[in-house]
Amino acid sequence: MNTFSDSRAVELGEYIVKNKATVRAAAEVFGISKSTVHTDVTGRLKKIDPSLFYSVREVLDVNKAQRHIRGGLATKEKYLKEKVHSK
């Protein structure tokens, strides 16, 4: 086992749970790719700390359920700004 990757997975998991962060937000804070975050918190973390894994999973499931809403709001904002600028 790679202890650096293991400790990073735990740090990522704790960050996501504490801040209710998305994978994208965690990747930005830690300076790594979204794929790496996902691999760490779904693969490694389940083996290292199952209880933390399930806590992370809950946060990520909520984020996934809300993703379409955030996307819709961003699109609405975009078109509202375009409408204001075109007047």
Q: How far apart are CA 49 and CA 26, in angstroms?
A: 18
Q: Which run of H or of E encompasses 5?
A: helix 3-19
Q: How many domains does the chain have?
A: 1
pTM of the entire predicted model: 0.76
Q: How far apart are CA 42 and CA 44, in angstroms?
A: 6
Q: What is the pLDDT of residues 67-79, one digit of tens each?
A: 777 677 778 788 7
Q: What is the pLDDT of residues 26-63, one digit of tens each?
A: 999 999 999 999 999 999 999 999 999 999 999 999 98
Angle at 72 between CA 79 and CA 20, to 5 degrees: 130
Return all residues near 32 (Cβ < 8 A) that are at least 6 apart. 8
- Residue 5 CA from chain centroid, whole number: 17
Residue that wins the pLDDT comparison between 66 and 53: 53
6-20: average pLDDT:
96
Domain range holding 19?
3-86
